[in-house]
A and B are shown apart, each in its own frame.
Chain A
Amino acid sequence: MSKEWPLWEVFIRGQHGLNHRHVGSLHAPDAEMAINNARDVYTRRNEGVSIWVVPSAAITASSPSDKGPLFEPANSKVYRHPTFYDIPDEVGHM
């Protein structure tokens, strides 16, 4: 079997100025072609205005056993969530 094209992770920033978001992966021989392929594969419906690609092998992920300590502290900060606040109905939509 010949050498396989490496795998890339694709991040796209949409039309509305939000952050780049991971949309999926694809194969390409190098970064430039990965960008072109990402345009063809992941923006077929005009989804994006800016594309990042990262070699999948370069991603460092939090280890699953850290899941508790890394994320649970945020769970206690309920005041970060809009539903924490009781707003009277009379005020209308907020």
Chain B
Amino acid sequence: MYAQLVSTEGLKKPEDMTPAERAFQERIDRNEKIEPKEWMPEGYRKTLIRQIGQHAHSEIVGQLPEGNWISRAPTLERKAILLAKVQDEAGHGLYLYCAAETLGVSRDELMELLHKGKMKYSSIFNYPTLTWADMGAVGWLVDGAAIMNQVPLQRTSFGPYSRAMIRICKEESFHQRQGYAIMMKMAAGTPEQKRMAQDALNRLWYPSLMMFGPSDKDSVHSAQSMAWKIKMNTNDELRQKFVDQTVPQAKYLGLTVPDPELKWNEEKGGHDFSEPDWSEFFDVIAGNGPCNKDRLGARVKAWDDGAWFRDGLVAHAEKAAARRAPVAAE
């Protein structure tokens, strides 16, 4: 997902817990929200910083592939919609950084970790957006996959993260729809537009499945995160749900999901489908995706080029505060 491969400590058994840890786990089991200044195990805090940080980084790096088409949007209305959507992603990054900050790390520190390659963002944003149909497919598939994960995260145990997710889900309700609306136009359009739509689905299908991360049903790390309710479902559950939701939508568009093995399995009440190429996934995570260098480079450039601006405003605020301050008595 937007926070793939978040490493955690292994799952602790109740008998290995300290009394404080046990009381903490009981609060979570009672669906109580954990708030920033309350006691929490160090592992919980660290895992959350990594997860929320990755999620925030994914939002702002995720601005880039769609931002790539703002200047080429084909109508004034499409341009406004796309710009509003990419702007929302900046907002979502902002909310998430603020949530992470309640855990004792600053936004600038998180940015620095991103820029130095010490924190990751979702693998999906290292793929290029090559045609206008990709604006449809990203909204439909990528936002669709993200929503699968974000809706349950509204119930996550950490209060600020949960509240950020609630706001994000509310604002994102139009994102997937606008993507699907573009796909409908394209799929019902000229032969070239339809070809573009099919091509976008072909290229983005497996990278979208990768967004959920490799199978983690046997992972102790995931088990701990699930016990803490900072991960609500296994990767496979969400992937299955995504496939089952998306296949009929593709059919409605008259597009073909690029998986010859895809078929309905009556017994399990879901589709059978091919796994993505996980070696490609690990290549992308390792920095070898088609756009890793460009994406990170763009973020670093924005940050470095903007340093004088941020510093200038701080300097002015300090000057203005000094002017307002009463003159000290002789």
Contact = CB atoms under 8 A, between A and B. Distances in A.
Q: Do A and B share a direct contact in the complex (Cβ within 8 angstroms)?
A: yes
Interface of A: 1-5, 7, 23-27, 29-30, 33, 41, 44-45, 61, 63-64
Contact of A4 (B35, B84, B95, B106): B106
B13 interface: no
Interface stretch (B49-57, B231-239, B305-313): B305-313
Interface in B273-330: 307, 310-311, 313-314, 316-317, 320-321
Given A1-B112, A7-B101, A44 B91 contact: yes
Given A26-B94, A29-B313, A4 B107 contact: yes
Interface in B79-110: 84, 87-88, 91, 94-95, 98, 101, 106-108
Nearest to B101: A7
Given A2-B310, A5-B310, A41-B91, A29 B316 contact: yes
Q: How large is the interface on B (under 10, 10 to 19, 20 to 34, 35 or more residues)?
A: 20 to 34
B320 A25 contact: no
B118 interface: no
A4 B112 CA distance: 12
Contacts of B264: none
B87 A24 contact: no
Most buried by A among B98, B164, B310: B98
Nearest to B98: A25
A23 B91 CA distance: 13
Contacts of A44: 84, 87-88, 91
A2 B306 CA distance: 11
B39 A64 contact: yes
Given A7-B98, A24-B167, A44-B91, A29 B314 contact: yes
Interface in B228-281: none
A91 B121 CA distance: 57
B38 interface: yes
A33 B314 CA distance: 11
